[in-house]
Amino acid sequence: MTGATGFIGRHLVRRVQSEGAAVVALVRAIPPAASREPGVEYVVRDLERVDTLRDVFREDDVIVHAAARAHIMRDTDPDGEAAYRRANLDPTRMLCRSAVESGARRVVFMSSAKVFGEGRERPYQRTESPAPADAYARSKLEAEQVLREMGRAGGVEWTIVRPPFVYGPGGKGNFPRLVSLARIASLLPLPLASIANRRSILFVGNLVDAMVRCALHADAAGQILLPTDAHDISTPDLLRSMAKVRATRALLIPFPVGLLRSGAAIVGRAAEIERLTESLRLDSQHLREQWGWQPPVNLEEALRQSMSATPHSANAASHV
């Protein structure tokens, strides 16, 4: 597994171990003893600086590739496009080549719903043509294409997972910001009641449940999967649900969304308001119909687990 010490990776390691599978975690540096998962074998490899992983992979392995340079809201790299390709595309190409050479069984790739493009009201279908709108999403789509080429060459199966916004205990980026907004809204009215968006979201526990299926289910080979929580939700309703979990009430008042966006642009916060106001929905019916998969954790319980472990600070890097 790559990305095993990240937000999603830590949850996935624990779940995979609970299924009785052995985990080899590829890391840039061995984590401190207090942060290591018992029973995990940690192998130091910098994916941007090695030519092969053939010495690590074994025949019939399932490789979960979750490491990535995630979407950064305020990227200071002078050539962000190249930076994303170095981190997300080139290591995927090397990993796939190594998987073929070692006789691995399957590569499960953590992509992103952002490869579809920016938000819209109608849910994205997994069969739709991607239209990535930024460097991060383009690098993810290009990495997906590397996996498809590997599959066409034969020998190793692939599965691509395109999650929406992922939240949960230890999550960073947008989720702590939303938690902070919910706390503020319990004290002061916020002008967010007029936002009428719909977003697919995904609790990390539900994601790892689907990821285990991706690793083990024969029908997942050659599939693009869009796991989501059971229901899409608007930003105001999500804030209200967060407040309910905290036994408070979110004080939200109507205000024109266009003025919100204009004001945010003036103060350099346009991207953050876009995330709060736009819609981005995925159609996950294929998981329910073909696999009978249902997200095991409902929204109220997911928020309870997530908020009890979320620090009060929202100063974190943006997530997938």
Which positions are catalytic?
136
DSSP result, 34-100: GGPPTTPEEEE--TTT-S--TTT--TT-EEEE-------TT---TTHHHHHIIIIIHHHHHHHHHHH
3-state helix, strand, coil in the chain (%, to 5): 40, 10, 45
Asked whether 204 and 228 are in contact (CB, 8 A), the reply is no
DSSP 51: S
268-to-9, 226, 265, 291 alpha-carbon distances in Å: 32, 32, 5, 44
Report the C-alpha gap between 231 and 238 in whole angstroms.
Answer: 11
DSSP 37: P
Distances (CA, A) of 221 to 178, 194, 218, 244: 36, 43, 6, 40
Strands 165-167 and 24-27, sheet pairing:
unpaired
**95, 61 in Cβ contact below 8 A?**
no
User: Length of the chain in residues, anyone?
Assistant: 320
Report the amino acid identity of residue 129: S
